[in-house]
Structure 1
């Protein structure tokens, strides 16, 4: 069973992330339709995609699913050299791939700035090639940008967080162009929802989820 180190949110970090949210463009709500994206209901208008690696994708997926404006979250593998990798292959750390999530979102409801804020809350970006006890390049912190604007924003916020001393150590998050993304096996999708009573979900994912929801209160989907 994987074990995760759940870091506390410093007051400086929380303040900076809330600042990101406060300066983000005003969001305009829109009616949702019934299109389907990778088996999930989507909206009847254009969506954008953000791709983040932040440790185990089981945790990342469930955290981002909470945010209003996020249409779907797809767990998968990216950033490596092996074609059509399996989970077993990726966990060896020899494929070059990271566990990652494609965040499909409605930019009229949530901005890329806000997703970046969520990314920095979802994990510890100062840990090199690991998250807590999960060690290996497959657990690295990375932002895979889809366009020049995403790269510019990612670089900007990393610099600002480092300059503000939001963490005790420097951020080691990689910022790389988006390449081939391989969707993970079906049992990895909606993992927390489908395995909620398992020890890992109760001991690791649930506490991280509660912390995440506390920080982003007011930005969550209505239950």
Structure 2
């Protein structure tokens, strides 16, 4: 089974990870940092907004089950791509909406997805397409956060369930059997 990788930043990586973990054809979602100037950044450094990194996810998927373009459509549907350096109460460049393509084909698909999103959203899309750079996995306690500690985190309880409801309503046919609740 051939696997591909999509790297996406759509605000808090706990939220985007929770969404993409439920998608059929996705075998792994890893939270991490990309797009900055500091080697081996920590969560605290990235949260300061001074490293240039985005909180992001690296999605490993089977393109025979779900295509990159559809992953991008889900990405645009489950976060707000119209708010510059912000998702809800999370403010700063680390929460920017960005796509980091792994190939020229992914780059072309990213620009096409932005065009499609622009037709669906009432405000201009601010999502950037940025060059792929060094990926730094987030600390272990950030991985699979929603499935563990996130269930008792008030921020997560306020933000993640509405994203999952939106996903389940609009992409029910694309959910893993374990997620179709």
The alpha carbon displacement at 1:203 in A equals: 1.8
- Alpha-carbon RMSD: 1.0
CA shift digits 1:80-115 (9 cap, x unpaired):
000000000000000000000000001111100110
> Residue 168 of structure 2 aligns with which residue?
213
Determine whether 1:58 maps to 2:14.
yes
Determine whether 1:183 maps to 2:142.
no
CA shift digits 1:101-139 (9 cap, x unpaired):
000001111100110111101200010011111110000
Question: Where do 5+ consecutive residues of structure 2 fail to align?
Answer: none
The alpha carbon displacement at 1:159 in A equals: 2.1
Q: Which has the larger radius of gyration?
A: 1
Q: In structure 1, which of residues 170, 192, 210 is the aligned counterpart of residue 146 of structure 2? A: 192
User: How far, CA to CA, are the matches of 1:201 and 1:132 in structure 2?
Assistant: 12
Q: In structure 1, which of residues 109, 133, 155 is the aligned counterpart of residue 65 of structure 2? A: 109
The alpha carbon displacement at 1:67 in A equals: 0.5
Q: Partner of 2:100: helix, strand, or coil?
A: strand
Question: Where do 5+ consecutive residues of structure 1 fail to align?
Answer: 1-44
CA shift digits 1:153-181 (9 cap, x unpaired):
1111212332x3x2121101010121100
Q: Partner of 1:76: helix, strand, or coil?
A: strand
> Residue 127 of structure 1 aligns with which residue?
83
> Residue 157 of structure 1 aligns with which residue?
113
CA shift digits 1:26-85 (9 cap, x unpaired):
xxxxxxxxxxxxxxxxxxx22100000000000000100110000000000000000000
Q: Assess if the C-alpha contact under 8 Å between 1:66 and 1:213 holds in 2.
A: no
